[in-house]
């Protein structure tokens, strides 16, 4: 049981679309907290009105711009024995939203931290994507600058877990194009738009097809789910890759398909296998008979 000497920090998930998705406990926490720290105080008041609950404690803002300066103030309240409720605009605090600093500070000072579970764009998109969910990773927002984004994706090209990304609607087309270039246009993916809202839409297909779909623009909040790389079951040695393509071709598989199959099994880009097959071995590199 939490003592008044240590206080309690409550992280509460808020609806990502419909207010009706709020957990019943969210109403209790809004009414009973001594302090409610909100990413957007206006949205908090609208949510409270939709839930027909009166916020019982004082409301303070807690967003990216003031997170560093506001954290010590909230920590002081916690150390004074107060119950502090943290909510962000949608979903769970700390998951691509403010919260980590306050949680870390609370833990460092032995303040108990708990959560009100509820809506999550990450898990909702993953569940409806149709892609494997047994292993996944959340990568947040991709870098805005093309060079930084390309480097981030290059580091993820061999990731075998299903990946979840957040993206702004006006950058979705560019993000999909970068994903297709880094991961291959045939990599399965899903664009999840306006999840749980009136205009919810989930578009599934290879990255190359999704690039074309997004060319005319995308509206609303977007979560991208991308299949992981196929497990590496072939040696990525150049000689081994050439030999694998040659073996498939000898069995009647067209070269283009053979290259795609070998790239998938080796966990390397198709372009890499294509270049190996269509150029002479480099000096010192073994050649396939």
* Residue 3 covered by a domain: no
Taking alpha carbons only, the member of 192, 228, 27 closest to residue 120 is: 192
Residue 258 shares a structural domain with residue 184: no
Residue 101 shares a structural domain with residue 62: yes
For the stretch 7-17, pLDDT in tens is 999 999 999 99
The pLDDT, as a whole number, for residue 3 is 44
Question: What are the average pLDDT values for consecutive 10-residue runs of the chain, which has 289 residues?
Answer: 72 95 95 97 97 96 96 97 97 93 97 96 97 96 95 91 97 97 95 96 97 95 94 74 88 87 83 86 51
Are the C-beta atoms of 19 and 100 separated by less than 8 Å? no
Distance CA 52, CA 80 (A): 29
Dihedral (CA of 58, 64, 66, 69) sign: positive
* Residue 82 covered by a domain: yes
Show which of 119, 137, 168 is a domain's final residue.
119
Q: How far is CA 154 from the centre of its chain?
A: 17
Show which of 69, 93, 119 is a domain's final residue.
119
For the stretch 236-281, pLDDT in tens is 788 888 888 998 888 888 899 889 888 878 878 888 899 999 875 6
**CATH code of the domain containing 197:** 3.30.950.10
Residue 202 shares a structural domain with residue 271: no
* Residue 107 covered by a domain: yes
Q: What angle do CA 106, 109, 111 make, to 5 degrees?
A: 55
Task: Name residue, tokens 């907290």.
Answer: 33
Distance CA 206, CA 113 (A): 41
Structural domain of 175: 122-226
236 Ramachandran zone, left/alpha/beta (phi>0; psi -120 to 50): alpha
Residue 99 shares a structural domain with residue 177: no
The pLDDT, as a whole number, for residue 279 is 79
Residue 186 shares a structural domain with residue 258: no
Are the C-beta atoms of 38 and 59 separated by less than 8 Å? yes
Phi and psi at 112, nearest 5°, equal -70, 140
Taking alpha carbons only, the member of 122, 222, 119 closest to residue 175 is: 222
Show which of 119, 138, 167 is a domain's final residue.
119
Number of H helices, E strands in the chain: 11, 10
Distance CA 223, CA 231 (A): 24
Distance CA 129, CA 207 (A): 13
The pLDDT, as a whole number, for residue 288 is 46
Residue 107 shares a structural domain with residue 160: no
Residue 105 shares a structural domain with residue 133: no
* Residue 130 covered by a domain: yes
| Tally of domains within the chain | 3
Residue 53 shares a structural domain with residue 111: yes
Distance CA 73, CA 67 (A): 10
Are the C-beta atoms of 178 and 152 separated by less than 8 Å? no
Residue 167 shares a structural domain with residue 75: no
Cα–Cα distance list, 272 to 9, 183, 226, 259 (Å)? 51, 12, 21, 9
* Residue 2 covered by a domain: no
Task: Name residue, tokens 């580091």.
Answer: 155
* Residue 200 covered by a domain: yes
**CATH code of the domain containing 55:** 3.40.1010.10
Distance CA 263, CA 46 (A): 51
* Residue 287 covered by a domain: no
Residue 54 shares a structural domain with residue 105: yes
* Residue 81 covered by a domain: yes
Q: What angle do CA 226, 156, 257 make, to 5 degrees?
A: 65
Residue 188 shares a structural domain with residue 139: yes
Residue 196 shares a structural domain with residue 271: no
Alpha helix (H) residue ranges in 159-278: 172-183, 207-214, 238-250, 255-266, 270-278
């Amino acid at each position: 049981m939490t003592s008044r000497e240590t206080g309690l920090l409550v992280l509460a998930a808020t609806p990502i679309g419909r207010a009706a998705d709020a957990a019943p406990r969210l109403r209790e926490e809004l009414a009973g907290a001594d302090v409610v720290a909100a990413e957007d105080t206006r949205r908090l008041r609208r949510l409270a009105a939709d839930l027909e609950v009166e916020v019982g404690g004082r409301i303070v803002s807690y967003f990216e711009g003031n997170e560093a300066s506001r954290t010590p103030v909230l920590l002081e309240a916690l150390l004074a024995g107060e119950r502090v409720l943290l909510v962000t605009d949608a979903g769970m605090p700390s998951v691509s939203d403010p919260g980590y600093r306050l949680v870390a500070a609370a833990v460092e000072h032995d303040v108990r931290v708990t959560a009100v579970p509820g809506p999550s764009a990450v898990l909702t998109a993953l569940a409806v994507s149709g892609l494997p969910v047994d292993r996944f990773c959340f990568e947040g927002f991709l870098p805005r600058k093309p060079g930084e984004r390309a480097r981030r994706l290059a580091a993820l090209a061999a990731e075998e877990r299903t990946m979840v990304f957040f993206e702004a609607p006006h950058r979705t087309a560019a993000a999909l194009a970068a994903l297709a270039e880094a991961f291959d246009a045939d990599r399965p993916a899903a664009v999840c738009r306006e999840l749980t809202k009136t205009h919810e839409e989930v578009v599934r297909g290879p990255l190359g097809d999704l690039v074309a779909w997004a060319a005319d623009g995308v509206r609303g909040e977007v979560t991208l789910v991308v299949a992981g790389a196929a497990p590496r079951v072939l040696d990525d040695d150049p000689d081994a890759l050439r030999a694998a393509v040659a073996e498939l071709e000898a069995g009647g598989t067209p070269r283009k398909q053979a290259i795609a199959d070998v790239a998938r099994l080796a966990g390397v880009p198709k372009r890499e296998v294509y270049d190996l097959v269509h150029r002479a071995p480099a000096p010192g590199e073994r050649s396939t008979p």
